[in-house]
């Protein structure tokens, strides 16, 4: 199974990107996780959204199309998702209701230094994905709080309870993606 992971943060030291790198530890050997970097995706412009699109956009659309499922980890910026992530979803959402993201099974996670782990951004993200007809894995929610102390120097999640919960999330999520494949 191929999972495309997208981080809503461009920061080198991003906790969300680190979270997506660490989920490979929690899936079966027959599941691959590729983390897509949004850094080169330009701002959405309808004039550029023709048959020939900017190369980074084309790469994003092809990566989504060829994946069995998406896994998004988002920071919370001012109670919502970063523009970088919303912009990528906007590109991926066209043409409306027939896009590469339409019907693509998607897991949503968040991470923040706050004690609620970006939960408000997750709520907004789920709403956006509703507009694009993207089915979202419903439960359990995974929000990584106090992210600045969650990883050790090797990028490994340190807390056993958090690791167990992420394992539960990834097992449920990958089974759900497999069921959607039929």
Rule CB under 6 A: is residue 118 a binding residue for ligand FNR? yes
* Binding of ligand FNR by 76 (CB under 6 A): yes
For the bound state, the minimum distance from the C-beta of residue 42 to ligand FNR, rounded and expressed in Å, comes to 20
Residue for token digits 């089974």? Answer: 175
Give me the least distance between CB of 179 and ligand FNR, in Å please.
30
Residue 29 CB neighbour total at 10 angstroms:
5
CA-based nearest residue to 146, from 110, 100, 105: 110
Closer residue to ligand FNR, CB minimum distance, 76 or 166 = 76
- Interface of this chain with ligand FNR, residues 78 to 97, rule: CB under 6 A: 78-79
Rounded to the nearest whole angstrom, what is the least distance from the CB of residue 123 to ligand FNR in the complex? 12
Nearest-Å Rg of the Cα atoms of the chain is 16
Please tell me the distance from the alpha carbon of residue 118 to that of residue 112, in angstroms, as a whole number. 5
**CB-based contact 3:62 (threshold 8 Å):** no
Task: Establish if 114 lies at the interface with ligand FNR (CB under 6 A).
Answer: yes
Query: Interface with ligand FNR includes 110 (CB under 6 A)?
Result: no
For ligand FNR, give the closer residue by CB, 15 or 173. Answer: 15
In terms of CB distance, is 67 or 147 closer to ligand FNR?
147
- The string of DSSP letters for 147-179 reads GGGTB-TTS-B--HHHHHHHHHHHHHHHHHHHH
Judged by CB under 6 A, the chain residues 163 through 182 that form the site for ligand FNR are: none
H-type alpha helices, the chain: 15-22, 55-66, 83-92, 119-131, 160-181
Q: Which of 73, 76, 72, 71 is nearest to 121 (CA)?
A: 76
Q: Does 75 bind ligand FNR (CB under 6 A)?
A: yes
Provide the mask over 11-30, with x wherever binding to ligand FNR is found by CB under 6 A and - wherever it is not: x--xxx--------------
Nearer to ligand FNR, 69 or 75 (CB): 75
For binding to ligand FNR (CB under 6 A), which residues are involved?
9, 11, 14-16, 75-79, 111-114, 118, 147
């Amino acid at each position: 199974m191929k999972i495309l992971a997208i981080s809503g943060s461009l920061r080198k030291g991003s906790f969300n990107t680190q979270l997506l790198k660490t989920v490979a530890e929690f899936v079966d050997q027959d599941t691959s996780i590729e983390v897509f970097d949004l850094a080169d995706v330009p701002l959405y412009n309808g004039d550029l959204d023709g048959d020939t699109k900017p190369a980074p956009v084309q790469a994003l659309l092809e990566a989504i199309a060829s994946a069995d499922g998406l896994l998004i980890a988002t920071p919370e910026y001012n109670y919502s998702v970063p523009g970088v992530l919303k912009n990528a979803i906007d590109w991926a959402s066209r043409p409306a209701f027939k896009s590469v993201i339409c019907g693509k099974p998607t897991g949503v996670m968040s991470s923040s230094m706050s004690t609620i782990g970006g939960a408000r951004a997750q709520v907004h993200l789920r709403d956006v994905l509703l507009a694009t007809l993207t089915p979202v894995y419903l439960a359990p929610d995974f929000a990584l709080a106090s992210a600045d102390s969650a990883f050790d120097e090797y990028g490994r999640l340190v807390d056993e309870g958090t690791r167990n919960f992420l394992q539960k999330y990834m097992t449920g999520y990958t089974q759900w993606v497999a069921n959607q494949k039929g």
